[in-house]
Copies of this chain bind each other. A is one copy, B any other.
Amino acid sequence: MKHVVIIGGGFGGLWATRALARERVRITLIDRTNHHLFQPLLYQVATAGLSPADIAAPLRHILRRQKNVTVRLDEVTVIDKEQRRLEMKNGTLEYDYLIVASGATHAYFGHDEWAPHAPGLKTLEDALGMRAAMLKAFEAAERETDPAAAKAWLRFAVVGGGPTGVELAGTLAEIARHTLKREFRNIDPTRAEVLLIEAGPKVLSAMDPGLSASALKALRKLGVTVRLNAPVQAIDAESITLAGETLACRTVWWAAGVAASPLGRQLTDNTDRAGRVPVMRDLSLPGHPEIFVIGDLATLAHHGLQVPGVAPAAKQMGNHAAATIRRRIRGEAGLAFRYRDYGSFATIGRMAAVADLAGFKLRGVLAWWLWLAAHVFFLIGFRNRLVVLVNWASSYFTYQRHARIVGR
């Protein structure tokens, strides 16, 4: 029986695994953590609205009924393409087919020295670190006797005006203005300053210009100070410098750039500037029809096909790689991947959102309700605990432990 090894339990790897459920293959799914993470709501963990267990589920639990899968908590260090063999921290594995879906991490455009002062948001650990930093900043301001120092603790800068930056800045503004309003005695949290810093001329630049303008308006209404055309020049522990101006600021969050997983360099010397691996139209690695690269790690740009780094794209690529493996096993040729763009959302705080759904544009409360419905729907789709939380007592009878989440 052919052995299919899948690296990464995100949307790409998990969807590929599931798509092979009825195939007579042996599958090993490797991840550094024990869980699948619903990344679109990760900003809610960073901003203390949801707990890690609300948006993550153990891969073993999701796949417990799929008997052809072995889940392995491990980290791949070497991909030996010639021997068709992986080296991991805790052992080795040989494969017949390999799907690499190890995703992306933050990129600081050559300024790695900013990383400790401006954490990015990719894992639950990142989110918990950001949550702790945000809460401790308000606590430090409350303790502070020097007003200038207190002000630096109450200034929050989010770098990057894409969907994640917009969601983080909008939520931060709401926390300061509403959540914490009455809870402090020495400071007024509503006077906290939330900066959203974007190097380009608009927020949500990938969306329709009208929606981008709506988002800007909604952010300003929430009290976010949006700085456009303001590339960051320096970040350290106590300040951020943009457009020649240095602001005292103790909390900076990074939502400006991603780089593909370093495993890409194990596959080719030919990665693009963001570290992505150029793949064939069937998503296989050139010269290696048994290796597939999907999700944020892959690029089809050289074929003129721009596939965004979003969950639906990763799922579609996971399904496609699985289908191609099925065809290969039967001796059929792979088919070209086609990306179906069903649209995109961005939320701006509590009751506002913008949505671009296959050319159909929405904004405001209606877009927000659609966003909520879509996210609840997809969360339930992977048996998340949200439904179970509705009645915590019932978990005693179903014998499930919903918080089985462990980092690396």
Question: Which positions in A face B, CB cutoff 8 Å?
Answer: 34, 45, 47-54, 58, 60-61, 64-65, 69-74, 90-91, 131-132, 135-136, 139-140, 142-143, 145, 174-175, 178-180, 182-186, 350-351, 372, 376, 386, 389-393, 395-396, 399-407
Contacts and interface: CB of A to CB of B under 8 A. Distances in A.
B391 A390 contact: yes
B51 A178 contact: no
A396 B179 CA distance: 11
Given A51-B53, A65-B182, A406-B131, A34 B139 contact: yes
A399 B178 contact: yes
Contacts of A186: 70
B396 A48 contact: no
Number of copies: 2
Nearest to A70: B185
Given A132-B406, A143-B74, A183-B60, A392 B389 contact: yes
A31 to B, nearest CB: 10
B139 A73 contact: yes
Contacts of A406: 131-132, 135-136, 139
A135 B404 contact: yes
A60 B395 CA distance: 30
A309 B70 CA distance: 46
A90 B143 contact: yes
B392 A386 contact: yes
Nearest to A69: B185
21 contacts: A45-B403, A48-B404, A50-B403, A51-B51, A51-B52, A60-B184, A61-B183, A65-B182, A70-B185, A71-B142, A90-B143, A131-B403, A132-B406, A132-B407, A135-B404, A135-B406, A179-B404, A350-B396, A351-B396, A376-B393, A390-B390
A399 B189 CA distance: 14
A15 B162 CA distance: 46
Q: Which of A60, A69, A71, A407 has the most CB of B within 10 A?
A: A60
A391 B392 CA distance: 11
A287 to B, nearest CB: 31
Contacts of A65: 182
Nearest to A28: B185
A71 B90 CA distance: 47
Contacts of A136: 73, 406
Given A389-B392, A392-B386, A142 B72 contact: yes
A43 B145 CA distance: 39
Given A51-B52, A51-B53, A143-B72, A183 B34 contact: no
Q: Which of A132, A143, A184, A402 has the most CB of B within 10 A?
A: A143
Contacts of A400: 179
Nearest to A178: B399
